[in-house]
């Protein structure tokens, strides 16, 4: 606004100076009236945001002032070039640069009466500066827009999904680069680099492929040049290396076509590097938030274990108190007993009966309190519709962080689209507890082989865990026996040597999940333990978009 008004003030001042210094064909009052009319019409067009009409009106006023005067006089020539000189300060969304060029040349030709080669030099020079300013201004505007999208991601009352902000940024980039369907940016992927393996962090669209391997040459080139490209399937993928603190991020921009000349012309690498640098800050912040969330989750998990442990202990105590309760009841009936027997037992039980009776009531009361589900803050966790793809993501993130392992999914799962993807009825907190317990113990106990996979069998989702075991072979058979056993004593025994059997079976029982274990063999003959979780799946009813 200030730049626009200042420019018009300068334009009017130069026009008045020209009127007073150089004689023209019209009376001075007419020129002054033209200046007043020019300012009035400008104010109207400014209020209505008519930028193109304002430019045309500027040149109409300039042509009126120059009419009948020598346009090659320095002041006149400067007046004609003033709109193009001011173009570098233009801050609107559309500069109409081509119209500006034609109007400037047209004004010079109109007053000269012919087109001469020397006219192109000043006009073309200023036009090039205008284009450079346009590009810089568009980059700055895009930078502001993307920054606002990232701020919105953190500050929006309704939390956005990560793929939503990526898709919004892709749309902004496609508008900026003026892409068509043939060469548009179609996807952004983000990986964390560990060694020569890129582990998927997230992407603008859902992906079953979670890792990408880089050969040594590409990896070295990427770290040195910060950017490489790979052509594949008629398109091109641009890789950008953006280290942020202790994490090395690799952003991959998938473009529909390998015709990237247009992108380079608009400063493709500069814009994307700046964009991905801002996004890496977002990701690093999310990473630290996730770390804190995992710490809190582990605290909750420990509390759940404490409550479950207390419930089991109270069950045990109440069962073991039954013989003592019978002895106390027998003692209360001593008056009806045979005198000889009564005298014999009185010496043994009389001193302890009052204390035992009070202790028993307190223990049973405490046990009833703990066993009452309404007193258990973790007893009524909400059942949710969890898509199979979300189970896959959850397992993949745990396997990556704990084992550096890729989770595989069979074709029956990956071929399904999100629209008809089936769901499991589960609670996400208990789901994490179940998977975390087993995967954490795989990391502790495994000696070499680790396998995690998902598959579909009819309408059942099968989650398959397999790993070697560091203990003696007898431990595997014992663990398998206790997992498959329905006896609670076996479960109690099994929890003492790993894999969180009690908690897994407790959660599985509450949600109707079938748990089965068996022994397997690796290709080199080593024994493995295999755990399979079998979930019922259902048609999606809610909007469970991830």
Report the pLDDT averaged over residues 21-30.
Answer: 83
- In sequence order, the β-bridge partners of residue 251 are 190, 240
Residue 466 has a pLDDT of 93
Cα separations in angstroms, 348 against 6, 336, 340, 361 = 109, 17, 14, 21
Question: Up-side HSE of residue 182: CA atoms within 13 Å toward CB?
Answer: 4
Mean pLDDT of 162-174: 81
Paired sense of beta strands 408-409 and 460-468, if any: unpaired
Contact status, residue 242 vs residue 192, Cβ threshold 8 Å: no
Helix (H, G, I), strand (E, B) or coil at 116: coil
The span from the CA of 39 to the CA of 9, in Å, is 9
∠ CA(258), CA(261), CA(263), 5° rounding?
90
- Does the pLDDT at position 162 exceed 70? no
Arithmetic mean of pLDDT, 102-111:
77
Contact 507, 500 (CB under 8 A): no
Question: What is this structure's pTM?
Answer: 0.63
Mean pLDDT of 36-65: 84
- As beta bridge partners, residue 520 has 528
Most confident of the following: 69-78, 349-358, 374-383: 69-78
pLDDT score at 546: 45
pLDDT > 70? residue 376: no
Q: How much is the pLDDT for 391?
A: 92
61 pLDDT higher than 80: yes
Rounded to an integer, the average pLDDT of 118-133 is: 72
Let me know: does 543 contact 421? Beta carbons within 8 Å.
no
Q: How far is the C-alpha of 407 from the C-alpha of 400, rounded, in Å? A: 9
**What Å distances lie between residue 531 and 425, 453, 463, 470, 496, CA to CA?**
20, 11, 8, 16, 18
**To the nearest 5 percent, what fractions of the chain are helix, strand and coil?**
60, 15, 25
Q: What is the pLDDT averaged over residues 464-480?
A: 82
pLDDT (tens digit per residue) in 264-310:
556 777 788 888 888 888 788 777 777 777 767 666 666 666 666 66
pLDDT on residue 113: 61
Q: Give the mean model confidence (pLDDT) for residues 222-244.
A: 85
Phi, psi (deg, nearest 5) at residue 524: -100, 15
Q: How much is the mean pLDDT over the chain?
A: 77
134-156 pLDDT, tens digit per residue, is: 667 777 777 777 777 777 776 66
Averaged pLDDT for residues 412-426: 77
The mean per-residue pLDDT over the stretch 255-259 comes to 70
Q: What's residue 58's pLDDT?
A: 84
Residue 535 has pLDDT above 90, yes or no: yes
> What is the C-alpha radius of gyration for the chain, rounded to an integer number of angstroms?
39
Rounded to whole angstroms, the Cα distance separating 169 from 435 reads 34
313-343 pLDDT, tens digit per residue, is 666 566 556 657 766 766 677 677 677 666 7
Top mean pLDDT of 239-248, 297-306, 451-460 is at 451-460
- What tokens appear for 427 in the block? 């609670």
User: Is pLDDT at 9 greater than 80 in this prediction?
Assistant: yes
Query: For 345, phi and psi rounded to 5 degrees?
Result: -80, -25
Q: What per-residue confidence (pLDDT) applies to 284? A: 80
pLDDT at residue 165, rounded to an integer? 80
- Let me know the angle formed at the C-alpha of 40 by 37 and 42, rounded to the nearest 5 degrees: 105
- Say yes or no to pLDDT of 545 above 60: no
pLDDT(52) > 60 = yes
Q: Please check whether residue 438 is in contact with residue 508, taking contact to mean a CB–CB distance below 8 angstroms.
A: no
Q: Is residue 129 pLDDT above 90, yes or no?
A: no
Inter-helix orientation angle 268-320/162-176, to 10°: 170
Helix or strand (DSSP H, E) at 42:
helix 28-47
Mean of the pLDDT values across residues 459-476? 84
- Whole-angstrom distance, CA of residue 421 vs CA of residue 416: 6
pLDDT-wise least confident of 47-51, 107-111, 196-200, 540-544? 540-544
Using one digit for the tens of pLDDT, what is the confidence trace for 475-531?
788 888 888 887 765 555 545 554 567 778 888 888 889 999 999 888 888 888 999
Per-residue confidence (pLDDT) for residue 544, from 0 to 100: 46
Q: Which phi-psi region, left, alpha or beta, contains residue 96 (left: φ > 0; alpha: ψ -120 to 50)? A: left
Q: What is the pLDDT of residue 453?
A: 94
Q: What pLDDT is stored for residue 101 in this prediction?
A: 76
- Which residue shows structure tokens 């200046």? 35
In this prediction, residue 454 carries a pLDDT of 94
pLDDT at 330: 66
């Amino acid at each position: 606004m200030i730049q626009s008004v200042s420019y018009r003030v300068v334009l009017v001042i130069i026009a008045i100076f020209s009127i007073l210094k150089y004689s023209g064909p019209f009376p001075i009052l007419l020129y002054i009236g033209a200046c007043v009319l020019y300012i009035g019409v400008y104010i109207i067009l400014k209020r209505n945001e008519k930028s193109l009409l304002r430019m045309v009106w500027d040149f109409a006023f300039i042509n009126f002032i120059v009419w009948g005067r020598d346009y090659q006089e320095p002041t006149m020539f400067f007046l004609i070039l003033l709109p193009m000189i001011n173009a570098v300060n233009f801050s609107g969304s559309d500069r109409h640069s081509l119209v500006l060029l034609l109007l400037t040349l047209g004004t010079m030709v109109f007053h000269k009466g012919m087109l001469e080669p020397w006219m192109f030099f000043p006009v073309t020079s200023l036009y090039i500066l205008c284009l450079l300013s346009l590009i810089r201004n568009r980059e700055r505007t895009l930078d502001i827009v993307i920054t606002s999208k990232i701020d919105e991601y953190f500050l929006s009352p309704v939390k956005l999904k990560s793929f939503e902000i990526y898709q919004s940024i892709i749309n902004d980039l496609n508008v900026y680069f003026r892409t068509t369907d043939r060469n548009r940016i179609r996807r952004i992927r983000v990986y964390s680099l560990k060694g020569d393996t890129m582990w998927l962090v997230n992407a603008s669209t859902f992906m079953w492929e979670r890792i990408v391997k880089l050969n040594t040459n590409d990896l070295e080139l990427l770290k040195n040049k910060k950017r490489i490209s790979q052509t594949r399937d008629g398109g091109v993928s641009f890789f950008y290396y953006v280290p942020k603190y202790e994490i090395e991020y690799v952003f991959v921009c998938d473009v529909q076509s390998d015709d990237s000349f247009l992108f380079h012309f608009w400063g493709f690498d500069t814009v994307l590097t700046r964009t991905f640098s801002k996004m890496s800050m977002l990701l690093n912040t999310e990473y630290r938030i996730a770390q804190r969330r995992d710490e809190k989750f582990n605290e909750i998990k420990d509390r759940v274990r404490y409550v479950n442990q207390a419930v089991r202990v109270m069950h045990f105590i109440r069962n073991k108190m039954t013989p003592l309760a019978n002895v106390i009841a027998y003692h209360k009936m001593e008056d009806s007993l045979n005198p000889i027997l009564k005298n014999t037992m009185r010496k043994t039980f009389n001193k302890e009966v009052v204390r035992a009776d009070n202790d028993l009531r307190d223990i049973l009361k405490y046990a009833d309190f703990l066993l009452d589900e309404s007193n258990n803050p973790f007893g009524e966790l909400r059942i949710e519709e969890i898509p199979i793809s979300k189970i896959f993501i959850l397992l993949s993130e745990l396997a990556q962080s704990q084992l550096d392992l890729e989770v595989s999914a069979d074709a029956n799962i990956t071929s399904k689209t999100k629209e008809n993807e089936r769901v499991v009825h589960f609670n996400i907190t208990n789901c994490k507890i179940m998977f975390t317990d087993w995967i954490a113990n795989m990391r502790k106990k495994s000696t070499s082989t680790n396998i995690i996979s998902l598959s579909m069998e009819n309408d059942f989702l099968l989650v398959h865990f397999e790993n070697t075991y560091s203990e003696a072979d007898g431990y595997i058979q014992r663990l398998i026996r206790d997992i498959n056993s329905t006896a609670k004593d076996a479960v109690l025994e099994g929890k003492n040597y790993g894999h969180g059997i009690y908690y897994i079976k407790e959660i599985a029982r509450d949600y109707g999940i079938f748990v089965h274990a068996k022994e397997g063999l690796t290709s080199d003959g080593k024994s493995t333990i295999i755990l399979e979780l079998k979930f019922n799946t259902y048609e999606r009813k809610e909007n469970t978009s991830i």
